[in-house]
Amino acid sequence: MTTQITAEAETMTKPLTGAEILVRALVDQGVDTIFGYPGGAVLPIYDALFHEPRLHHVLVRHEQGATHAAEGYARSTGKPGVVLVTSGPGATNAITGIVDALMDSIPLVVITGQVATHLIGSDAFQEADTVGLTRSCTKHNYLVKRVEDLAGVVHEAFHIATSGRPGPVVIDIPKDVQFMPGPYIGPEEARHKHSYNPRTKGDPAKIAEAMALLAGAKKPVFYTGGGIINAGPKASQALRKLAHMTGAPVTSTLMGLGAFPAADPQWLGMLGMHGSYESNHVMHDCDVMVCLGARFDDRITGRLDAFSPGSKKIHVDIDPSSINKNVRVDIGIVGDAGSIIEDMIAAWNAGGYKKPDLTGWWAQIEQWRARKGFAYRKDPKVIKPQYAIERLYELTKDRDTYITTEVGQHQMWAAQFYRFEEPNHWMTSGGLGTMGYGLPAAVGAQMAHPDALVIDIAGEASVQMTMQEFSTAVQFNLPIKIFIVNNEWMGMVRQWQQLLHGERYSHSYSDSLPDFVKLAEAMGGVGIRAETPDELDAKIMQMIDTPRPVLFDCRVAKEENCFPMIPSGKAHNEMLLGDDGTDLDSAIDDEGKMLV
Amino acid sequence: MPPRVNEAIEKRTFAVLVDNEPGVLARVVGLFSARGYNIESLTVAETDKAAHASRITIVTSGTPLILEQIRAQLDRMVSIRTVQDVSSDPLGIERELSLIKVRGTGEQRAEALRVADIFRAKVIDTTHESFVFELTGASSKIDKFVNLMAPLGLVEMSRTGVLSLTRGVD
Ligand SMILES: Cc1cc2nc3c(=O)[nH]c(=O)nc-3n(C[C@H](O)[C@H](O)[C@H](O)COP(=O)(O)OP(=O)(O)OC[C@H]3O[C@@H](n4cnc5c(N)ncnc54)[C@H](O)[C@@H]3O)c2cc1C
Ligand SMILES: Cc1ncc(C[n+]2csc(CCOP(=O)(O)OP(=O)(O)O)c2C)c(N)n1
């Protein structure tokens, strides 16, 4: 505390340097945690951090880890994540996470060091054209060449990252600017250079029109997405209310899980390529579709010309470019999902609409539910991956649990078998599908929620991409649990090779996997292995009760496939199920094979 | 979006008012290349020094859905202030300037001059065997002129691409 007061008193007399201005601006923006890695071009900033007790700096092991950790922090708190990396390789290593955040609409502010202004363009040591490299993968980026601009740029960057459709913003700061003395202005006084004020309030006439359409529907559905999470917890509350008032079933994308409680009878489960049987049939057959904060991704629509052919479509999105991008809709409403859902509730009441009689629709839905699309064959001797996640869910559901994932089959099984009741408790890389996301994201989520149970549901291949961040967890006493669904294969790749490439398993088996238990120990954490269904519960309990970082090596059936699956290029009602004995090899036609 | 067979490709001119700052043109051009949109012509210059504003005029083409996307994608960029669809605006004016070099002697040369006269092209340079014409107008007028000059010894040309503004007080 004393250091803080002296530091502030000093600023009265002595102007701040660029580095100090940056640190001050971060504090004034309410930042408490930074994920970073030092280097020559950011040393002045690290110097300024040395004197700033209000900013917790998490030293990662690779800059990609810093960006994913910041994403985990952001998604689990609703606040922007902050990253600090050096020039050149520091910045380029961060790029994967920046693209990931852009694709999944995660607010990040990424600060990169740059060579001194007079050296820019001279191929100086560790020089990279960071603004050029990140132009297409940021919501906006800056090269700050004058210290006078710095404070204003930082405040504007936070505004841009967090308003409208959230996304990553990069601020590239040359080293000489970090040393230069300059003026500080606070967030209130800062005048933004750009007028960026996206619309949040929806058009009342269109909202009224949408409610009239919904009130007359016989087979309605709410198709919700990550935009509800972006809109904050109030939007999730409003969604529950609107769903209950209208009686319509609710499905969500991978990114929106938790916005609507899985325990609610109106919940259909996730939709899309690996979504539930009932949700995809509902989407195909509905007469009115209300899309709230989702973007008609190709994992959702399947074959576009067969996508929900008979429905009127309403689309609420804060980004006008999301509307009519992939699917032409009948009513497009631009604005914040939270505000618009509340206005929808008001418009429903104002229209005097009553909860419609949807008995017939629900009877049909019950038939689809009875088909049990997620069913799998249990095995008394071998742990089935689905079973592992079911047990993990049962044993952790009553705690304050946050789940992150890597990418692959385990990610889909997590989405299918782990049930979420609240928003911001589920973090996964959806748009970019970045293997290696989950472990560092767990680090970020655990930093934000020190007392929570944070679990990365991982694949043994993915987790090795950012394994080194386990060391970060050890250093910062973050008791994250890495639950590796270990099938020895790059399971998702193996599944596609089986279904699309004539069972030619080309380079998808990882030989010489590490002994994860020993690896955990070598890194200063705890390793636990489960090999049979009998011991699984006890081992999971042991994991939960260990107050340290844990690598859990869960040995599962090696060749299980993830179903249902809508083959690429097929329609929703052409889903493959696990037990219907379709000739899988011929289920996907040549055109489908061209798609990802 | 796979192109819909039943949707015709249309040409469209957008006038884009941007913050005049380093990299802004790269952002706009990068958007077009990253998303696979066409650029038929593009002009840019600072138009209001005090307000740090530049005006970019882009002629592009695509299906109505793609054109709607282009507009929305431009509109959401932080450095872009306004996007105006000049082609769909009845008050929209589009003009282009061109410099055209024609080489020839005798009857060919005389004919080139006559055609230039009909188009009200200005002669801005002349030698015994060449002219440089300056012609301003709608792109279609310049296209026509170029077609007529081709058999008369057209050797080189330079075009600015489309500039645009709306008629009236606003
Ligand atoms: C291996 C793999 C398999 C996958 N399979 C599936 C699958 O089966 N099913 C599935 O659903 N996904 C699946 N995905 C994920 C998929 O790729 C997409 O990431 C996901 O479907 C997109 O979710 P979304 O539509 O909710 O959009 P998001 O990417 O979350 O985008 C949010 C949308 O909401 C808007 N928005 C943001 N903020 C607001 C606000 N405040 N108010 C209103 N709107 C807002 C944004 O503009 C955007 O349009 C898979 C991914 C991987 C890696
Ligand atoms: C960085 C990166 N490289 C490659 C891929 C392609 N890919 C998608 S899933 C997958 C296999 C994942 O294997 P594993 O982590 O073991 O999970 P499983 O599917 O077995 O559950 C691969 C290679 C990717 N998504 N990300």
Do B69 and B126 share a domain, yes or no? no
Same domain, B63 and B109: no
pLDDT in tens, A53-99: 999 999 999 999 999 999 999 999 999 999 999 999 999 999 999 99
Using an 8 Å CB-CB cutoff, list chain A residues near B2. Answer: 304
CA distance A398 to B35: 45
Q: What is the mean pLDDT of chain A?
A: 95
pLDDT of A417 above 50: yes
Domain extents for chain A?
17-182, 204-370, 385-555
pTM of the model: 0.95
Tell me if the domain spanning A385-555 has CATH number 3.40.50.970. yes
Q: Tell me, yes or no, whether B16 and B79 share the same domain.
A: yes
Does the pLDDT at position A285 exceed 80?
yes
Q: Up-side HSE of residue B91: CA atoms within 13 Å toward CB?
A: 7
The answer on B98 and B68 residing in a single domain is no
**How far A320 CA lies from chain B's nearest CA (Å)?**
6
Work out the pLDDT band at A568, boundaries 50, 70, 90.
confident
Among all residues of chain B, which has the CA nearest to that of A134?
B27
Give the CATH number of domain A17-182; options: 3.10.450.50, 3.40.50.300, 3.40.50.970, 3.30.230.10. 3.40.50.970
Q: Classify domain A204-370 by CATH number.
A: 3.40.50.1220
pLDDT of amino acid B170: 77
Same domain, residue pair B112 and B75? no
My answer on whether B76 and B103 are in the same domain is no
Q: Using alpha carbons, select from A77, A83, A154, A84 the residue that is nearest to residue A113.
A: A84
What is the per-residue pLDDT for A13? Answer: 58
Residue B25 lies in domain: 10-88
Say how many Å lie between the CA of residue A560 and the centre of ligand 2. Answer: 15
Sort out which chain B residues have CB atoms less than 8 A from A198's CB and list them: 76
pLDDT score of A112? 98
Q: Which residue has the tokens 């008995």?
A: A359
Percent of chain A with pLDDT over 70: 95
A189-198, A311-320, A447-456: the lowest-pLDDT one: A189-198
Which residue lies with its CA nearest to atom 23 of ligand 1?
A255
pLDDT band at A573 (very low <50, low <70, confident <90, very high): confident
Question: What is the mean pLDDT for each group of 10 consecutive residues in chain B (170 residues)?
Answer: 66 96 95 96 92 95 95 96 93 95 96 97 97 96 97 97 90
| Own/partner pairs, B120-128, CB within 8 angstroms, 24+ separation | B121/B145, B124/B99
CA distance A470 to B86: 56
pLDDT at A2: 41
Domain assignment present for residue B76? The answer is yes
CATH number at residue B156: 3.30.70.1150
Which of B64, B88, B112 delimits the end of a domain? Answer: B88
* Chain B CB within 8 Å of residue A196 CB: yes
Q: Is residue B3 part of a domain?
A: no
Residues in chain A with CB shorter than 8 Å from the CB of B26 are 132, 135
Ligand 1 near A298 CB (within 6 A):
no
Looking up residue B57, the CATH number of its domain turns out to be 3.30.70.260
Per-residue pLDDT band for A574 (boundaries 50, 70, 90) equals confident
Q: What is the 3-state secondary structure (H, E, C) of A450-500?
A: CCCEEEEEEECCHHHHCCCHHHHHHHCCCCCEEEEEECCECHHHHHHHHHH
Asked if the bond preceding A309 is cis, omega within 30° of 0, the reply is no
Q: Is A467 assigned a catalytic role?
A: no
Asked if A49 and A213 touch (Cβ cutoff 8 Å), the reply is: no
Q: Give the pLDDT confidence score for residue A191 in this predicted structure.
A: 86
Q: In this structure, how many other beta carbons lie within 10 angstroms of the beta carbon of residue A51?
A: 13
Q: Is the pLDDT of residue A291 over 60?
A: yes
Are residues B50 and B114 located together in one domain of the fold? no
Query: Residue A319: which of B21, B27, B76 has the nearest Cβ?
Result: B76
Res. A10: pLDDT tops 90: no
- The count of domains in chain B is 2
Q: How many whole angstroms separate alpha carbon A349 and alpha carbon A3?
A: 56
Instruction: Specify whether the CB–CB gap between A137 and A100 falls below 8 A.
Output: no
Helix (H) or strand (E) holding A406: none
Q: Is A12's pLDDT higher than 60?
A: no
Tell me the DSSP string of A234-245.
HHHHHHHHHHHH
ipTM, two decimals? 0.89
pLDDT at position B6 is: 59
Q: How far is the CA of A333 from the centre of ligand 2 (A)?
A: 36
**A337 alpha carbon – ligand 1 mean position (Å):** 14
The per-residue pLDDT for B120 is 97
From chain A residues 322-361, the ones with a CB under 8 A of any chain B CB are 323-326, 328
User: Given this model, what pLDDT does residue A518 score?
Assistant: 98
Percent of chain A whose predicted confidence (pLDDT) is above 90: 90
Q: What is the mean pLDDT of residues A215-221?
A: 98
Local confidence band at A250 (pLDDT 50, 70, 90 cut-offs): very high
Of B27, B34, B72, the CB nearest to A321: B72
Is A63 marked active-site?
yes
Of B31, B61, B88, the last residue of a domain is B88
| B2 within some domain | no
| Residue where a domain terminates, one of B37, B70, B88 | B88
Domains A17-182 and A385-555 share a fold: yes
Phi, psi of B41 (to 5 degrees): -155, 155
- The pLDDT, as a whole number, for residue A586 is 56
Select the more confidently predicted residue: A561 or B2: A561
* Per-residue model confidence (pLDDT) at position A580: 57
Q: What's the Rg (C-alpha) of chain B?
A: 19
| B4 located within any domain | no
Residues 6+ apart with CB under 8 A from B91: B166, B167, B168
